[in-house]
Structures are given as C-alpha cells and as structure tokens.
Amino acid sequence: MAFDEKEFLACCGSSKFAKEMALASPFSSLQAAVTTARDIWFNKVDVNGWLEAFDAHPQIGKSAPSNHKSETSAQWSKGEQSTALATATNSSLQELSDWNARYRQKIGFVFLICASGRSTSEILAELKKRYPNRPIIEFEIAANEQMKITELRLAKLFATKAEAPSAYNPHLMTPGKKAEEDRVSIIGAHLTATSEAPSGKTSQITARTRPPITTHVLDVSQGCPAAGMDVKLDMWVGKQSRPSFDGNDVGGGWVLQGVSTTDKDGRSGQLMSIVDAVNPGIYRISFNTAKYCPGGFFPYVSLVFEIRETQKLEHFHVPLLFSPFSFTTYRGS
C-alpha cells in the first residue's frame, strides 16, 4: 500500500522520517511499514529530527494549535487524549498543566507519552515519576514514546486507506462499510503498543512499574475492548529446553505464572511479579475465548513466545485482536 510524505508526517512530525518512509513506500503490510519505521526512526533520524517530532505534539490536556502543520495529526492527537480528557477535572487539568510547564522548563521539550487509553491521573503519575530524570534519559524515553505513537498512527493510516482486508488478518476488516470503518477507528484508539528501543538503542530505565509481560484484548467484531476474558500465563520448565512441536515432551512441562481477567479496557491484571529482569525462556499466554464468545470457532487461544537472555530487561506486550472466527497478534514493541 502506497502513501505520500504528508500522510507519514501525520504519523510522526519529523520531516526526515516522513521523507524516508515515502521513499520506502509502498508497503506490503502494516507489519512491513512498522519494521521500516522503527529502522528509520532509531537509525536514520538525527537529534534535530527527534526534537522536531516532539515539538509537533500538543501539551497533554490541550489541543493542537489551529495552524498545526498536519490537520490529521491534530485530529488523531485529540482522539488519543480522549480518555485523559474524559477523566479529567478542573483541578487535575490545572495540576497537569503546572507539571507540564515544570517539565518543559527543566527538560527542554514537551512531556511526551503515548496517551491513548490513559486517564489523567495515570498520565500525571507518570509525569511526576519521570520528572526527576536527567534530560538525556528523558530524551531516550520520549523517543520510545514517539515510536509507540507512530505505530498506533500507522495502524490508523492503513485502516483508513485499506481497499482490501487488513494486512494483519484477512478476516479483520472488509472495505466500504462505514460501520466497519468506525470499528477500526475505535480499535486503533486502543492499540497502545508498549515498546522498548530496538537494537542499538537500549533504555536507561531499568526499574519497572508493571510486570514484564502484559496483554490487551480487543474484540474486532464489535470494535471495542474485550472485557471479562480470562487470561493465564505459563512458563516452560524442565530438562527439555523447549516444548516440541509434536507434543512428545519428556522431562518438562508448563508452570503457571499467573491468571487474570481483562478489565473494561480489555487489559489484563498482573500475570506475574514485577521484576527488573524477567527469566529468559519459553512462555505461553492463553485466552479463554470460549467463555467470552461461546458460539465462536476457537475454544481458547494460546500464544507461545521466547524471551532470550539479551531481552530480559525489555517489556513484552502481547495483544490479541479477536473475533468469533479469526484472531491475530504481534509483539507491541
């Protein structure tokens, strides 16, 4: 699917990023576009380009100026902040504004966070937590938050221009129907990928505030979060380093790490302890789809993935985009 420079500028306010993405277009799938975007953002866009992208964002709690260089970006920004604005009070907005001003005066640029799905209190707590950081650390964090936003917006860009079923799964979307476009828009607002820096750029923050493995379930048939779905996390343990494909496993088995149920936003609770370094190994996250959708095709869905020694400080967000007769996933990083 082909896009122009203006469309990519709506995804990320760096002119260099938009130009490089347009040169790399067309893309065979959303995944291909995201992979290219990460490479360009972390390896080709310089410091000035990062600052240009940061500056394209309005302060959290405020709207983009009317003369914003991308009207689409301004509209998306408003949608991404909708949860924060819906949960705000006059006093919390004032406190957020005050802390934003303090942050900008100390750090030198706007406080940047992927705000989609976050309440005002959550954003304010994160701002206060990050405020003591040195500017160089915040620069790295902000770059990662920008990449999360970019991935979210690329998904929206593909959804709005799709003339064929979504690249993520052939059953997720069919074109030409306003109701289905609305569902995609709602789903896009919930795709809050929690990313870590790709190879070559590692976060300098090691203390976690959440478990290293998280998930988020979206019901693409309804265009809303899948609330009330049971989720469990297991780890493979034993002499055999990994489970075999044919199931003839000797000297090993799955050990339960935790269970939870998705909340009204489709997010699971804590599936494992909050630790700085997760144990490397094979993990399996399972979703009780039959309980959520008794008439669906899948009695349950299990996703198996490996965390390597070099990845033990990273965060792994494993979202599930589900409908009664199809599902897809990807690593949100």
CB crowding 163-197: b at 16 or more within 10 Å, else e:
eeebbbeebbbeeeeeebbebbebbbbbbbbbbbb
Alpha carbon of 229 to those of 108, 210, 250, 259: distances in Å?
43, 20, 32, 11
Burial class (CB in 10 A: 0-12, 13-18, 19+), 328: middle
> Could you say which architecture CATH assigns to the domain 5-162?
Orthogonal Bundle (1.10)
Tokens of 199: 């190879």
Domain boundaries, the chain: 5-162, 211-242+252-329
Estimate to the nearest angstrom the gap between the alpha carbon of 10 and the chain centroid.
Answer: 17
- DSSP code, position 117: T
Task: Point out the residues that are catalytic.
Answer: 57
| pLDDT tens series, the chain, 333 aa | 788 999 999 999 999 999 999 999 999 888 889 899 999 999 999 989 999 999 998 887 666 554 456 678 778 877 777 777 777 788 888 998 999 999 999 999 999 998 877 788 888 999 999 999 988 889 989 999 999 899 888 888 887 765 434 433 433 333 344 444 444 444 455 544 333 334 334 334 446 677 899 998 888 777 778 889 999 999 988 777 788 887 776 667 888 888 999 988 888 888 888 888 889 999 999 999 998 888 889 899 999 999 999 998 888 888 888 888 888 877 765
Tokens of 59: 């302060």
pTM, two decimals, is 0.50
CATH number of 211-242+252-329: 2.60.40.180
Q: Are 58 and 67 in contact (CB under 8 A)?
A: no
| Residue position matching structure tokens 């959520």 | 292
- CA geometry: angle 98, 104, 110, nearest 5 deg: 100
